[in-house]
Structure 1
Amino acid sequence: MQYPLSPDVKPEFCTTGSFMRLPSSRDNAKIAIVGLPFDTAASFRVGARFAPQAIRQASMLLFPYHPIHKVYPFEDTNAIDIGDVSVIPHNIHRSYEIMQASMLDLMSKGIVPIGLGGDHSVTLATLRAAAKVYGPVALIQFDSHTDTWDTYYDEKYWHGSPFIRAHEEGLLQPDKVFQIGIRGTLNHPGDIDASLELGYNVITTPELKKRGMEDVVNQVKEAIGDTPCFFTFDIDFVDPAFAPGTGTPEVGGFTSLETLELVRSLTDLNYIGFDLVEVLPPYDPAQTTSLLAATLIHDFAGLVAKKMGSGTK
């Protein structure tokens, strides 16, 4: 049977709950959807633990072919959905161990995981797994916040600190880290400087608007080259008018169209994993945010399929 299932095989509303009704296993899988429903590290709004379910539900509105990349992202990669990792809501460190083990198992088999968060703390677990397989990796981070703040109420592990912890643990190649779309009010003038001092490349929303998409994309591609690269996408990169269902919204962001164009332009990189985080279904009554998130997951898979050279028609 061909996957994703088309509506003339079974109506979209008849589903087992996987992303676009993907199977949980099949031979030669190159992509795996993985739910990471941990949100105990959020600092304000909570509810991202329900995002994997909501994104999967919204994915029923998608069709299998990607007309921009000219691929079938999930069919060409024999993609699977292995369900949610069984995290422990009140224990971030044990949850990290569980998430890391799941991601390490996939990456060790050459499978590209696409994680459905969860708050942004979950990315640290995946980067730990990636470093064990690939060594320190490059990072593309779409976000309105740098998430390089050290502590929160003296706690070092929360959704505002994954990328300072990743630097301390040697998981990243700092000169190949790009934090794109940073904007909004700050606690103090040095917030962005914290990332720059780590050696990261910070491209704020005003800078991206001024320089233009093509110039920024060319910089990213030139710097990263063929280095194994992880792509993490915080949905608050998008303006809350287009993605209201998130924990720490920042106005003055990008439209859904601008976001898709930017992601789709980041082709030909050596992606070894993705995640999409900080979707909060309780603040997303019309599924606007979840549908955009599902579309971005489709795009991530399209980038992998295109890199594989599996273009069709």
Structure 2
Amino acid sequence: MKKKRNTDPIQPVSGTKVPRFAGPSTFARLPELRDVDNCDIAIVGIPFDAGTSYRPGARFGPQSIRQASRHLRTNYHPNYDVEPFKVQQVADAGDITCNPFNIDEAIKQIEVGATELLKKVGGIISLGGDHTIAFPLLRAMNKINNGPVALVHFDAHLDTWDTYFGAPYTHGTPFRRAREENLFLDDSSMHVGIRGPLYSREDLKNDESFGFKIIHCDEFQTQGTDKIAERIKKRVGNKPLYLSIDIDVLDPAFAPGTGTPEIAGMTTREMVNVLRGLSGLNLISADVVEVSPAYDHAEVTSLAAATIVYELTNLFAKVKR
């Protein structure tokens, strides 16, 4: 594919011209980053899962999410009334190569890779990979943003534990490490979808001391998605926003293919409705992590993740408009 020299975005390969099971293996069959001149949003894979504490396999998440994204019809989103790939250039940047055996080295590689990518594009959506990757991604955001960002973290778990078996870098510790480096704004950040037992009651106290507010998963049943979205928007305000979405925020009925599933989670309908309710926030980048396709069936988890990524491209499109 030759580089396009005018200002019109290069569109995904149309499902009306090439069957959806064929064509490029990029996310939603978008162009590769190298084939576009100016890119607003880059989708990048980070196939790393050395920080997992239970079921591995999230290193295969990026390719699985891309494969599932073939199914999506992406031209027009009626809920946003936007054609997301016409108002902005979105491209697939491939994967950031990271050491699968050395976590310290991998964290450096992810930070450098994301920082260099952010110098070329307006924002990124990262496909994990386990949740360890959020820490170096937030480091990169701070370098590009020249300071901390608001963080909204969708997850069944807090991910603010100190260490796990003495290890400081795991998928359960990224936001503890991020807090220690002041990478997110403590007056504008929150967890959404938290549920299940904890190791200690001190876990919640520690988390509160880091500045997080929590929306527990049970609150979706009592308040509904519109109210939840309003609370998030009020908390974030006009701050630059980073969204970190662990697929295990969804109930295992909707996302079985993940490393640490927890019952009584969000439905996919609740997830997309909340995201749609965040339209208008100053979203700068995001990640979708913890898809482990070996534990999936019928691509339901990967399809959920791919759909969430597509929803995020529409949120970016609304910001651009």
TM interval, short-chain normalised: over 0.9
SS at match of 1:298: helix
SS at match of 1:173: coil
Deviation at 1:222, TM superposition (A): 2.0
Which residue pairs with 1:19 in the alignment? 27
- The whole-number CA distance in structure 1 between the counterparts of 2:249 and 2:299 is 17
Deviation at 1:101, TM superposition (A): 1.6
| Aligned 8 A contact 2:157 2:194 in 1 | yes
- The whole-number CA distance in structure 2 between the counterparts of 1:147 and 1:187 is 12
Which residue pairs with 1:276 in the alignment? 288
Deviation at 1:74, TM superposition (A): 2.9
Match of 2:66 among 56, 62, 67: 56
Q: Cα deviation per residue 1:85-128 (whole Å; 9 max; x = unaligned)?
A: 11110111211122112211232345210000000000111100
Shift >3 Å, 4+ stretches: none
Deviation at 1:137, TM superposition (A): 0.4
* Alignment TM-score, normalising by the size of structure 2: 0.93
Flag the 1:193–1:209 CA change in 2: closer, same or farther, 3 A. Answer: farther
Deviation at 1:150, TM superposition (A): 0.5
Match of 1:9 among 11, 14, 17: 17
1:43 is aligned to 2:53: yes
Alignment gaps of 5+ in structure 1? none
1:75 is aligned to 2:108: no
SS at match of 1:275: strand
Out of 39-48 and 12-21, give the one that drifted further: 12-21
- The whole-number CA distance in structure 1 between the counterparts of 2:86 and 2:174 is 33
| Aligned 8 A contact 2:61 2:292 in 1 | yes
What is the identity percentage for the equivalent residue pairs of Structure 1 and Structure 2?
A: 43
Which residue pairs with 2:39 in the alignment? 29
Which residue pairs with 1:87 in the alignment? 98
1:303 is aligned to 2:315: yes
Which residue pairs with 1:220 in the alignment? 232
1:103 is aligned to 2:139: no
Deviation at 1:138, TM superposition (A): 0.2
Match of 2:173 among 151, 161, 164: 161
SS at match of 2:152: strand
Out of 206-215 and 184-193, give the one that drifted further: 206-215
- The whole-number CA distance in structure 1 between the counterparts of 2:140 and 2:263 is 33
Amino acid at match of 1:89: P
- 1:171-182 map, 5 Å: 171-182=183-194
| Aligned 8 A contact 1:131 1:171 in 2 | yes
Match of 1:285 among 279, 294, 297: 297
Out of 162-171 and 212-221, give the one that drifted further: 212-221
- 1:209-288 map, 5 Å: 209-288=221-300
SS at match of 1:176: coil
- The whole-number CA distance in structure 2 between the counterparts of 1:73 and 1:249 is 32
- The whole-number CA distance in structure 2 between the counterparts of 1:80 and 1:121 is 24
- The whole-number CA distance in structure 2 between the counterparts of 1:31 and 1:137 is 18
Alignment gaps of 5+ in structure 2? 5-9
Amino acid at match of 2:223: R
Give RMSD over aligned pairs: 1.4
Q: How many residues align structurally?
A: 309
- The whole-number CA distance in structure 2 between the counterparts of 1:180 and 1:153 is 26
Deviation at 1:15, TM superposition (A): 2.8
SS at match of 1:155: coil
1:137 is aligned to 2:145: no
| Aligned 8 A contact 1:237 1:254 in 2 | yes
Out of 221-230 and 130-139, give the one that drifted further: 221-230
Amino acid at match of 2:227: D
SS at match of 1:186: coil
